[in-house]
Amino acid sequence: MKAIHFIIFSFLLVDYSFAQGDASRKKEFNLENGVALQGYDPVSYFQGKPIEGEDKIFYTFRGVNYHFSSSTNRETFKASPEKFEPAYGGWCAYAMGENGEKVKVDPETFKIVDGKLFLFYNFWGNNTLKSWNKNEPVLKANADRHWQMLTK
């Protein structure tokens, strides 16, 4: 009987750990009204042009909500969510690389690098994608390091 209680307790502990991980992960993401990418369909970026998703076509991956423009895109995402999630929790890649700050983005200013989605600030005549392109290898390495420190 003790073994059964131990097994049940172990499952509950694992489930609790995942829930805690999801909650802390959600805090790190750039969310608007609880939704990543300001409601844009993450799969659409990899199809060449970001498209706004629909509220009724959604999926939650590890505590983060995503909207999709079609059920097909939702199923594509579900099959491999890590492939489609934005780098640095959807915060500006340039700002993350420059100084490790979480800065808002224009969801239509993006770049796919090595199969990963990067988003950028583009307001008031300041398009940080242009600055990123001038020094991408250094900024990307810095951003990776800063993001890892932020999410520990």
- In terms of domains, do 128 and 150 share one? yes
The last residue of a domain, from among 45, 68, 84: 84
Cα–Cα nearest to 69, from 49, 48, 47, 51: 51
What is the rounded CA–CA span in Å between residue 96 and residue 121? 11
Residue 8: predicted pLDDT: 39
3 in a structural domain: no
13 lies in a domain? no
Q: Is residue 1 part of a domain?
A: no
Domain with 140 in it: 86-152
> pTM for this one?
0.85
Q: In this predicted model, what pLDDT tens digit does every residue of 12-66 receive, in sequence order?
A: 333 433 444 688 788 999 999 999 999 999 999 999 999 999 999 999 999 999 9
CA 75 to each of CA 22, 24, 66, 70: distance values in angstroms, whole numbers, following the listed order: 21, 25, 12, 9
The predicted pLDDT at position 83 comes to 97
The count of structural domains within the chain is 2
